[in-house]
Amino acid sequence: MISLKEVLKKYPKKEEYLIEILLEFQTSKKNHYISSEDVSTISEYLDIPESQICSVISFYTLLSMTPKGKYVVQVCHDVPCFVNDATNIYEKLVELLGVSDGETTPDSLFTLEITECLGCCNVAPAMRINNEVYTSLTPAKIETIINDLRGEVK
Amino acid sequence: MIQMKVISKRFGQINPLSIDSYIKAEGYEALKKAVAMHPSKIIDEIEISKIRGRGGAGFPAYIKLRALSNETGNKYIVCNADEGEPGNFKDRMIMENDPHAILEGMVIMAYATGSTQGYIYIRGEYQNAMNIFKKTIKAAEECGYLGKNILDKGFDFNVEVRSGAGSYVCGEEFSMIESIEGKPGRSRTKPPFPTEKGIHNRPTLINNVETFANFPHIVLNGGKKFAEIGTPSSTGTKLISLSGNVKNKGLYEVPFGTSIRDVIFKLGKGLENNRSIKMVQLGGASGPIIPEYMLDMSIDFDRFENFDSKTGTGAIIVIDDRFDIFDILLINMKFFVHQSCGKCTPCREGHVQIVNLLNKFISHRATEKDLMSLENLAYVIQQTSLCGLGQTSMTSIISSLRYFRDDYFAKVRY
Ligand SMILES: Cc1cc2nc3c(=O)[nH]c(=O)nc-3n(C[C@H](O)[C@H](O)[C@H](O)COP(=O)(O)O)c2cc1C
Ligand code: SF4
Ligand code: FES
């Protein structure tokens, strides 16, 4: 994990890099979120008000101010996936993880989210875990993927 | 063969991460030809080609190019790689399979319009495409096709990758401009248009990924040759993202004028398990839903415009007879509830009401009055929304009211 200071060093002190900074830092963080202290630090560095940074974070779905799990599981539910059994995929994930849309498991390992089209409709149904995309999903495939991730942690 | 590979010609044939591989396959030849031409002559070729934008609206490309070239001072060129419209994956495919073609198109247009700074705005979910494009930029800089004094012709052009962060509306031009400036992606009122006042209030050209990928071919082979492909009003080829319940889902490239039926049955090999088609949605969530008997319609911007929609993206989503039209409409409308930026009332409040009304139909609680309300509200949202999101989001509702009215009546309680 790289520190916020190191991320900031990579970008010029310009407001236009705000979203890039937020995304890069959030990705590198264990719980994938921007804390209020992070907001203060960025606000000082870019010399823009904290309220402006918060309004940017709340506008964009991929940015968050609440902690998430180590793995953010985003399952697509738009029409091309829906007609290819995405509902079963979502239900399998609910069964395996014991949480539903927007929730995080008590061990902070997984957050489950229903998301918009991932641009993989040719290999639907699809989901994304952190920055990795998984396609042509079946309930059996899901089970393997989740078990593998659980195994990695142990 | 009904496929015609121009944009996808190099897909799978070259290593997208190797600039040498691209150069061996005619790569950067168009740029070399372009820098030997007078900038205005390049735009003339684009005009002769009659190419229209591939991002959905089908706007003639030369008009924006000429508008930008007439401006002085700092100008920006933006490649729209936000591809958020459900059912589309063509831009991702170009970025992952032939990224230098997009960049070459951008550099040519920078030269033609006198622009010095470019951006490619890639949706945040496309991490792989983003990594590839960053490498593409670096390789092009090292080989002198990008950066300072390009091809020793004394012109400079830089390109930066900008990441989206999960907002569909940022695909709209002014929302994208706001986002590139580091702000929430809320649209602005037009005019002035981006080619007058865009990023940092400077003239800005925004084109789609596929549009940029077409430019090198037009420069290399001439506008006239390009205009011979397709139909009189829609020239060239179109990448089609075919998805849903077809056997062979995937990306296909066909000349404009090809029928939707041929794409589904000849290229997609028809439906899975010999089912029949209930409906086809064109373009994505903001496109029309049509019945099986309309599939002989050809792929053509003007045909799509009959629906007042931006369906020229080229997505075809096939839905079989197991599905109810209301389930499909509900998914579309929830998408827009979620993606509305909240700036104007018809869009912010209207989509929520549409979802409530659809739920009434789904649970058989709707009356004839609800049917009228749905229809009226759909037109209000379409006609009074500030930006393209609300202006096009009702297309699936309006087209379904036209072609699937019986499905509504079947659910109305008398
Ligand atoms: C809500 C909304 C979303 C859009 N999303 C995209 C997109 O993801 N990609 C794209 O190229 N154009 C998108 N557009 C169209 C762009 O505003 C613009 O027309 C296009 O980028 C212009 O490029 P072109 O002339 O090459 O088609 C969207 C428009 C609206 C209203
Ligand atoms: S139409 Fe919707 S997305 Fe567009 S400005 Fe209005 S509220 Fe925002
Ligand atoms: S609809 Fe799921 S990836 Fe496109």
- Inter-chain contact B331–A61, Cβ cutoff 8 Å? no
CATH number of B19-227: 3.40.50.11540
In ligand 1, the atom with minimum distance to the C-alpha of B171 is 5
Pair of tokens at residue B153: 């012709």
pLDDT of amino acid B128: 97
What is the sign of the dihedral through the CA atoms of B376, A80, B82 and A73?
positive
Q: Which residues contact B137 (CB under 8 A, 6 or more apart)?
A: B103, B146, B159, B160, B161
Chain B nearest-CA residue for A128: B125
Overall average pLDDT of the B174-185 stretch: 96
Nearest to B368 by CA among B325, B328, B405, B400: B405
Predicted confidence at residue B306, as pLDDT, reads: 62
| Residue B303: band (very low, low, confident or very high) from pLDDT cuts 50, 70, 90 | confident
Q: Tell which residue, B161, B147, B70, B156, has the closest CA to residue B116.
A: B156
Mean pLDDT of B24-50: 98
Whether A133 contacts chain B with CB within 8 A: yes
Q: Residue B173 contacts by C-beta under 8 Å, 6 or more apart in sequence?
A: B80, B194, B198, B206
User: Which pLDDT band, with edges at 50, 70 and 90, does B210 fall under?
Assistant: very high
**Ligand 2 center from residue B346 Cα (angstroms):** 8
Kindly identify the ligand whose nearest atom is closest to the C-alpha of B384.
2
Q: Which residue in B166, B245, B249 is closest to A60 by CB distance?
A: B166
Which of 58-117 (A) contact B at CB < 8 A? 59-63, 77-80, 82-84, 116-117
3-state secondary structure of B339: helix
* CB-closest option in A20, A59, A117 to B163: A20
| Ligand 1, CB cutoff 6 Å, lining residues | B 53-57, 59, 80, 82-85, 169, 171-173, 206-208, 211, 387-389
Which residues of chain B neighbour A32 with C-beta distances below 8 Å?
none
Q: Which residues line ligand 2 (CB under 6 A)?
A: B 169, 187, 340-344, 347-348, 385-387, 389-390
The highest-level CATH class for domain B325-409 is mainly alpha
Distances (CA, A) of A92 to A82, A95, A98, B159: 14, 5, 10, 43
Residue B311 has pLDDT above 80, yes or no: no
Cβ of A126 below 6 Å from ligand 3 = yes
| Rounded (5°) CA angle B106-B109-B111 | 115
| Fold of the domain built from segment(s) B237-320 | Ubiquitin-like (UB roll) (3.10.20)
Most confident of B270-279, B296-305, B309-318: B270-279
Label residue A2 by pLDDT band (50, 70, 90): confident
- How sure is the predictor about B304, in pLDDT bands with cuts at 50, 70 and 90? low
Per-residue model confidence (pLDDT) at position B302: 82
As beta bridge partners, residue A153 has none
pLDDT at A23: 96
For A10-65, what is each residue's pLDDT tens digit?
A: 999 999 999 999 999 999 999 999 999 999 999 999 999 999 999 999 999 999 99
pLDDT-based confidence at A154, cuts 50/70/90?
A: low
* CATH 1.20.1440.230 boundaries in chain B: 325-409
